[in-house]
Amino acid sequence: MTAGTTHRDAFEVTDAALHAYVDGQLDAAARAAVEAYLAAHPDKAAEIAHWQRQNAALATMFGPVAAEPVPQRLDPHRLAAAAANARWDWTRIAAAALLVMVLGGGIGWYVRGATSPGEAASDRLIDGAVAAHALYVKESRHAVEVAASDKAHLVTWLSSRLGHAIETPDLSAQGFTLVGGRLLPPLAESGTGPAAQLMYQNATSNRLTVYITAAGKPGKPFEEATEQGLQAYYWANDQITCTVVGDTAEADLPVLAKDVYQQLSWRPDPPGRW
């Protein structure tokens, strides 16, 4: 190594290193080298951001499944023994082995970004809220589990599952009406339980979502983030966390987020810079 050469200079940013970076498995020097590489390669940085959003989406949908034990009938050792002692249909063996990989390894790989060391709980909640928003706002028939027409049941059900009474903010003054809502599973290591997602829509079919959980680990009281054209406004108090997500093209989004804050927290002004 020549004079002046640092660990960052010597570190080779390979695909394996990028995967390790997303997994949170690099030391500080290697992580800094990868971040310098991404800063100089915006296309690759966008790809890495896509991996992280994909992780969050899959964690939202399949996080609880990853924690479940693999059924005994799908144990790989048992399958191997059965294959050696009997003439199994190889199609069934391949299908079962694939299912074992998904349950035992695949989901754990995809949720790696949601549990990376050092990430604030607020960041995980924002990632989960953005991923859930991107997943469901495109739906027409299945955008929500319970429609706004059954609002009383929706509020009672979600409040019960969150363990905290919530309401559906009235955003009609901003031109948005409630579509309905759904229950989402807890995010790993966020310190919170299940999440409620409320969906709203305006006259031009532009949608925003409000992602609510019971209060979790102490963390940032306020945070704002932008990911792939989506803006997220997060806040937390001693009772709930809330993340409002919408299209950044919606000029009134900060006003809408402030309105949600005022109605759910019963306070006139949110923290931060709204």
Query: What is the DSSP code (8-state) at residue 69?
Result: P
Q: Which helix (H) or strand (E) holds 142?
A: none
**pLDDT tens sequence across 100-158:** 554 544 444 344 444 444 457 888 899 999 999 999 999 988 999 999 999 999 999 99
Contacts of 117 (CB under 8 A, 6+ apart): 24
What confidence category does residue 84 fall into, taking pLDDT thresholds of 50, 70 and 90? low
- Other CB atoms within 10 A of residue 41 CB: 13
> What share of the chain in percent tops pLDDT 70?
66
Cα–Cα distance list, 214 to 92, 135, 136 (Å)? 43, 22, 21
195 in helix, strand or coil?
strand
**pLDDT tens sequence across 64-75:** 555 566 666 566
Query: What does the alpha-carbon distance between residue 27 and residue 115 come to, in Å, rounded to a whole number?
Result: 16
Handedness of CA 250, 241, 219, 192 (dihedral sign): negative
Q: Which amino acid, one-letter code, is at 214?
A: A
Residue with tokens 């009406």: 177
Q: Domains of the chain (ranges plus CATH)?
A: 7-40 (no CATH), 59-114 (no CATH), 118-265 (3.30.200.100)
